[in-house]
Amino acid sequence: MKFSIKKNILLENLNNVSHAVSNKNVIPVLGGIKFELNEEGLYLTATDNDIDIQTFIEKKYIDKVEKNGSIVIQGKFLLDIVRKLPDGLINFEVIDGLKIMVYTTNSNFNLNGIDPSEFPNLNIEKSKNPIILNKKIIRKMVNQTIFASSTQESRPILTGLNIKINDNKMECIATDSYRLAKKTITLNNNVDNLINIVIPSKNIGELVKILTDEDEEIKIHIFTNKILFEFDNLLFQSRLLNGNFPDTSRLIPTDYKIKINADLNELFNVVDRASLLTSEKDKNVIKFETNGNILTVTSNTPEIGKVEEKLPINKISSEDIKIAFSAKYMMDALRTITSKDVKILLNTEISPIILNNEENDDLIQLLLPIKTY
Amino acid sequence: MKFSIKKNILLENLNNVSHAVSNKNVIPVLGGIKFELNEEGLYLTATDNDIDIQTFIEKKYIDKVEKNGSIVIQGKFLLDIVRKLPDGLINFEVIDGLKIMVYTTNSNFNLNGIDPSEFPNLNIEKSKNPIILNKKIIRKMVNQTIFASSTQESRPILTGLNIKINDNKMECIATDSYRLAKKTITLNNNVDNLINIVIPSKNIGELVKILTDEDEEIKIHIFTNKILFEFDNLLFQSRLLNGNFPDTSRLIPTDYKIKINADLNELFNVVDRASLLTSEKDKNVIKFETNGNILTVTSNTPEIGKVEEKLPINKISSEDIKIAFSAKYMMDALRTITSKDVKILLNTEISPIILNNEENDDLIQLLLPIKTY
């Protein structure tokens, strides 16, 4: 393999595949990036056995191809090297079979490579009828939900994001069993079969890091045990989690006794300040109490002190309520709301708290109250 | 104690004193900030028994004083609270002796205070003839030297910055015994007695975080066992280290066989790239080798690979040299050089390497070579 390529083109592609480079040192080849140069162009591939990423650089973007071939180069070092080389052409040349020279006029790196035959076969497949979605919409959907996933391996299925598609309705749900985030999207095309899969939240979080915030399309190919995202010159594959995601539909009430409208920023600041005197080990508990159109938020940690915040609200109900919950979870949920006001829907002090955008409920944030007595 | 103050005025002062708030939980009062309101204004004081900081807010900047008095408030919580309260007036009121209420129209914090009689007496003194220096000059002097201090407690004296003053010449030296940084400054006023003190580098590092980058004066009061910096409305006191700082004057050669001029940025980048394939545990060793007006920089770590970089230099000497050293230490030293070119002064492969600014040598960076054979 011998070729030359502009630094900025290579770096962009290396940055993208680097999200699948393993930083565990157990299997050396998984810490590498496979370079594969053929008649069409250059394929760069990385996998940590959980996420697989492949990018393709067309031949017209490669400045000089002298010899096709392939090799695996240690990802961490290569990325640092390319980042720190000056702008301009970078030359690659495999010598003695398993050594790779990376050089410019004044710099010459001679790296130990790994035999490409040791690189895992990724079995990247495409389906006939992929789902088409917009990058911006996926980014938003993921960012509004995955934070509610569990990070505990005790119930592995809850570390994933549940995606259900029925006709043209797509639901995306994450829950750690104390809170739940659910986003509903309308697809442009109908899907023939019901789809109900669980993607590891960590993996789809990596996908979102690569996605630009543009109105461009992504093709999504779904299989029984894996999912492939296809966009730009890139393929991003993730395994799926086995098992049944809990049916959460009955958790979300359909009717509410108390509906509150509050200014989003003001409510966030009030909760944020009330949480200052709470402690992580006590789950950052704060209390809400309505009194007509005044919301009082309090917390009390005897060793430190107590706080009381008041906020004007618009309450549609003559009933008042006292309810306690985790300030951290409330703030996580409020961060995903994008309207000026937030809708808070309540029933009793022991039933779930629902947060919505002011105008619509395509996003539902649910948190369970905490009993404090 | 009862008064009201504008958030931004209080916050700026709290931020400054917070650098002396202890975050070890051993002695509770050291985690606090002492508020002391009297006829002149409000004194805020914090100490971790290593650094003491006091700021003073004149009465004219306090909006309403209803009752003088004093209390110690837990620093960490208070700073978060004030930072997160909306702009405008904040009210303080001591109730029941040791409770402090911090409130605005809609927020009310009720914090446990600490009896001010438990707060240590700081013995802040001023000398008759302080040294006068400019903030900008102190910042630069400290930033160009303290990184070379030791972080190992095995030789405590080397964890400090040595300051020597003779007439109007001030020398500032840090060394960890593998490298040395020395800055010389000319004072506007003469000092009567020789001064030779060692300030803990950590402490003077905190001072520099508070100093703005302006052409304003600081008064420095030096005592046998402590030093006081006086500027703006602030007093910053640090203990001094006991013991003799090693005499390093003979370490710095007066004559050099080889003088090299190189472009600072290019040299930095070459060393940075050559260090990519070195490892921390082998002290990031790289090798310099001159061949006429070409400098070759190499490193070799058999498990990873090797690198060779070439850089055009201007060498004043017919002799060539091979020398090895720590890339990390070289980069630390190069970061302090402010001229376009850097001067590298060498004798033999086992004698110290000196780096200077192109035009003058008021800054000397010394690093010891590493024997590699």
pLDDT digits (tens, 9 = 90+) for A315-334: 999 999 999 999 999 999 99
Q: Which of A16, A20, A12, A2 is nearest to A64 (CA)?
A: A2
A306 at B interface, C-beta within 8 A:
yes
Cβ neighbours of A277 in B, within 8 Å: 77, 109, 111
The beta-carbon neighbor of B273 closest among A84, A110, A277 is A84
Query: Residue B26 to residues A15, A279, B48: CA-CA distances in angstroms?
Result: 46, 19, 11
Rounded to 10°, the helix B264-274/A75-84 angle is 170
The pLDDT mean for chain A works out to 95
- The string of pLDDT tens digits covering residues A72-95 is 999 999 999 999 999 999 999 999
Is the CB of A110 less than 8 angstroms away from the CB of B306?
A: yes
- The string of pLDDT tens digits covering residues B192-230 is 889 999 999 999 999 999 998 888 999 999 999 999 999
Is the CB of A305 less than 8 angstroms away from the CB of B276?
A: no
| CA of residue B209 relative to chain centroid, distance | 7
CATH class, range A131-247: alpha beta
B189-195's contacts with Cβ under 8 Å and 24+ in sequence apart are B189/B129, B189/B131, B189/B132, B191/B129, B191/B131, B191/B165, B191/B166, B191/B167, B192/B129, B194/B164, B194/B165, B194/B166, B195/B163, B195/B164, B195/B165, B195/B166, B195/B222
DSSP category for residue B304: T
CA B81 to CA B70: how far, in whole Å?
19
Residue B208 makes CB contacts below 8 A (sequence gap 6+) with B138, B139, B142, B143
Burial environment of residue B325 by CB neighbours within 10 A (0 to 12, 13 to 18, 19 or more): buried
Residue A43 makes CB contacts below 8 A (sequence gap 6+) with A34, A35, A36, A37, A54, A55, A56, A57
pLDDT tops 90 at residue B249:
no
What is the chain A residue with the closest CA to B265? A86
How many CB atoms are located within 10 Å of the residue B279 CB?
13
DSSP category for residue B132: E
pLDDT value of residue B26? 85
Q: Is the dihedral of CA B297, A104, A71, A30 positive or negative?
A: positive
Is the CB of A269 less than 8 angstroms away from the CB of B77?
A: no
The most confident of A161-175, A187-201, B271-285, by mean pLDDT: A161-175
Superfamily of domain B131-248 in CATH is DNA Polymerase III, subunit A, domain 2 (3.10.150.10)
Do the domains A2-118 and A252-367 sit in the same CATH topology, yes or no? yes
Of the pLDDT bands very low, low, confident and very high (cuts 50, 70, 90), residue A150 is: very high
Q: Which of B43, B67, B41, B38 is nearest to B53 (CA)?
A: B43
Averaged pLDDT for residues A150-176: 95
CA A160 to CA A199: how far, in whole Å?
5
CA A27 to CA A265: how far, in whole Å?
48
pLDDT tops 90 at residue A97:
no
pLDDT tops 90 at residue A35:
yes
Is the CB of B304 less than 8 angstroms away from the CB of A86?
A: no
| Helix H or strand E segment including B216 | none
> To the nearest whole percent, how much of chain A has pLDDT over 90?
88
Cβ neighbours of B305 in A, within 8 Å: 77, 99, 109-112
Chain A to chain B, count of Cβ pairs less than 8 Å apart? 86
Query: Residue B170 to residues B136, B152, B214, B243, B292: CA-CA distances in angstroms?
Result: 15, 26, 20, 20, 38
pLDDT value of residue B25? 77
Averaged pLDDT for residues A306-318: 95
pLDDT value of residue A72? 97
| CA of residue B4 relative to chain centroid, distance | 34
B289 at A interface, C-beta within 8 A:
no
pLDDT value of residue A373? 62
Q: Tokens 């009030």 correspond to what residue?
A: A270
Is the CB of A111 less than 8 angstroms away from the CB of B304?
A: yes
Contact A164, A185 (CB under 8 A): no
pLDDT tops 80 at residue B14:
yes
The beta-carbon neighbor of A273 closest among B81, B272, B277 is B81
Query: Residue A203 to residues A47, A162, A200, B118: CA-CA distances in angstroms?
Result: 12, 13, 5, 53
pLDDT tops 70 at residue B373:
no
Contact B93, B100 (CB under 8 A): yes
Cβ neighbours of A101 in B, within 8 Å: none
Is the CB of A273 less than 8 angstroms away from the CB of B309?
A: no
> To the nearest whole percent, how much of chain A has pLDDT over 70?
100
Cβ neighbours of B110 in A, within 8 Å: 305-308
Averaged pLDDT for residues A212-241: 95
Tokens of B108: 């009310």
Where b means 16+ CB within 10 Å and e means fewer, B176-204 reads: beebbbbbbbeeeeebeeeeebbbbbbbb
Is the CB of A86 less than 8 angstroms away from the CB of B303?
A: no
pLDDT value of residue B282? 74
Enter the CATH code of domain A2-118.
Answer: 3.10.150.10
Separation in Å, CA of B202 to nearest CA in chain A:
29
pLDDT value of residue A157? 97
Separation in Å, CA of A81 to nearest CA in chain B:
7
Averaged pLDDT for residues B253-262: 95
The pLDDT mean for chain B works out to 95
Enter the CATH code of domain A252-367.
Answer: 3.10.150.10
Q: Which of B15, B7, B18 is nearest to B82 (CA)?
A: B7
The domain segmentation of chain A, as residue ranges, is 2-118, 131-247, 252-367
Name B2's bridge partners.
B67, B93
Of the pLDDT bands very low, low, confident and very high (cuts 50, 70, 90), residue A192 is: confident
pLDDT value of residue A213? 86
